[in-house]
């Protein structure tokens, strides 16, 4: 299954705008862009080339006049008048924002340790002013609706086919949907074979039972006299090596192994295997 970086992209866009412009920023909506609503607008188009896992992917960022002017105005701390046409200063501000967003996305993706998107790096390409309607004909373009200090601003990003399968949350589709559907149906089919349809229906009544999932960093056998001698600041060395996968437990029972990752600023675990280890 392809790793999904949709949330990373959305998170890094909003956090970059917040840090560069000193504003509150969120992404309210992401929709497929047709170009019909922006046919008369001008956009600053900046191309960014990404390289990862032996593949290349080209993304086109389109920043409309209103958005670009607002970005430059906020970067200057509101010390100038808000412009209504594009100029070199607005282009420079837009280019800096695109470069920072791309760098943040690259850093965050690499931190996840994805198998299919590894060693990501980017190179900023050309920047030019174009009609915003051009965006709808170049790639699969999505409109990111930014809420910046309670004001809605548009940002359009065009993705090529080499990355679309890794954007299922954004696109609403994935090349792995069929595989996922098959994998989800397999457990039920196996249980049906063993127990029969009636027993399976009864078993489904248990599916909504809540179970506690936990991840174990490591463990160690200690003597009681050592435990009672511990004080604040004591360092306890565990038997778990840094490079080893962590135990995944459900209701205190180990069910598999996983690797630690960071997901939108929170700890997570990427499942390595459940049950019996898979042998390549």
Tens digit of each residue's pLDDT (9 = 90 or more) over 107-116: 999 988 888 9
Question: What CA–CA distance (Å, rounded) separates 185 from 188?
Answer: 6
Q: What is the pLDDT of residue 132?
A: 87
Q: What is the pLDDT of residue 194?
A: 55
63 contacts: CB under 8 Å, gap ≥ 6: 43, 44, 46, 71, 94, 97, 98, 155, 156
Please write down the long-range contacts of 11-15, taking CB distance under 8 Å and 24 or more positions apart: 11/108, 11/264, 12/101, 12/104, 12/105, 12/108, 13/101, 13/144, 13/146, 13/155, 14/146, 15/104
Tens digit of each residue's pLDDT (9 = 90 or more) over 261-274: 887 778 888 888 88
Q: Exposed/middle/buried for 144, CB within 10 Å: 0-12, 13-18, 19+?
A: buried
What would be the CATH architecture of the domain defined by 6-171?
3-Layer(aba) Sandwich (3.40)
Q: What is the pLDDT of residue 7?
A: 92
Answer for the pair 120, 26: CB distance below 8 angstroms, yes or no.
no
Question: What CA–CA distance (Å, rounded) separates 170 from 144?
Answer: 10
pLDDT in tens, the chain (280 residues): 788 999 999 999 999 999 889 889 999 899 998 766 555 689 999 999 999 999 999 999 999 999 999 999 998 887 778 898 999 999 999 999 999 999 999 999 998 888 899 999 999 999 999 988 888 666 789 999 999 988 999 999 999 999 999 999 898 875 554 444 444 445 555 555 555 666 667 777 777 788 888 988 888 888 898 899 999 988 888 887 877 888 898 888 888 888 888 877 788 888 888 876 655 4
233 contacts: CB under 8 Å, gap ≥ 6: none
pTM over 0.85: no
Tokens of 113: 């340790």
Question: What is the distance, to the nearest Å, from the Cα of residue 228 to the centroid of all Cα atoms in its chain?
Answer: 44
Q: What is the pLDDT of residue 179?
A: 46
Instruction: Return residue ranges of the chain for CATH 3.40.1550.10.
Output: 6-171
Q: What is the pLDDT of residue 202?
A: 73
What would be the CATH architecture of the domain defined by 206-280?
Roll (2.30)
3-state SS record for the chain: CCCCCHHHHHHHHHHHHHHHHCCCEEEEEEEECCCHHHCCCEEEEEEEEEEECCEEEEEEEEEEHHHHHHHHHHHCCCCCCCCCCCCHHHHHHHHHHHHHHHHHHHHHHHHHCCCCCCCCEEEEEEEEEEEHHHHHHHCEEEEEEEEECCEEEEEEEEECCCCHHHCHHHHCCCCCHHHHHHHHHHHHHHHHHHHCHHHHHHHHHHCCCCCCEEEECCCCCCCHHHHCCCCCCCCCCCCCCCCCCEEEEECCEEEEEEEEEEECCEEEEEEEEECCCCCC
Instruction: Return residue ranges of the chain for CATH 2.30.330.10.
Output: 206-280
Q: What is the pLDDT of residue 209?
A: 84
């Amino acid at each position: 299954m392809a790793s999904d970086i949709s949330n990373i992209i959305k998170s890094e866009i909003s956090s970059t705008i917040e840090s560069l412009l000193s504003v509150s920023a969120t992404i309210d909506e992401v929709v497929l862009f047709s170009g019909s609503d922006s046919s008369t607008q001008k956009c600053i188009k900046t191309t960014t080339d990404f390289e990862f896992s032996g593949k290349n992917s080209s993304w086109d960022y389109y920043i409309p006049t209103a958005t670009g002017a607002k970005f430059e105005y906020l970067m200057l701390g509101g010390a100038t008048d808000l412009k209504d046409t594009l100029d070199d200063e607005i282009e420079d501000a837009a280019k800096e924002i695109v470069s920072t967003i791309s760098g943040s996305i690259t850093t965050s993706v690499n931190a996840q340790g994805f198998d299919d998107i590894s060693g990501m790096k980017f190179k900023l390409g050309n920047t030019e002013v174009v009609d915003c309607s051009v965006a709808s004909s170049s790639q699969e373009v999505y409109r990111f609706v930014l809420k910046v200090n309670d004001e809605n601003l548009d940002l359009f990003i065009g993705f090529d086919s080499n990355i679309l399968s890794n954007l299922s949350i954004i696109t609403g589709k994935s090349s792995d949907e069929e595989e996922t559907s098959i994998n989800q149906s397999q457990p039920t089919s196996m249980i049906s074979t063993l127990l029969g349809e009636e027993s399976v229906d009864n078993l489904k009544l248990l599916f909504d039972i809540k179970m506690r999932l936990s991840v174990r960093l490591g463990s160690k056998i200690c003597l009681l006299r050592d435990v009672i001698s511990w004080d604040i600041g004591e360092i306890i060395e565990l038997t778990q090596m840094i490079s080893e996968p962590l135990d995944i437990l459900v209701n205190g029972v180990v069910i598999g192994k996983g690797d630690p990752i960071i997901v939108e600023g929170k700890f997570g675990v990427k499942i390595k295997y459940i049950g019996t280890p898979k042998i390549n």
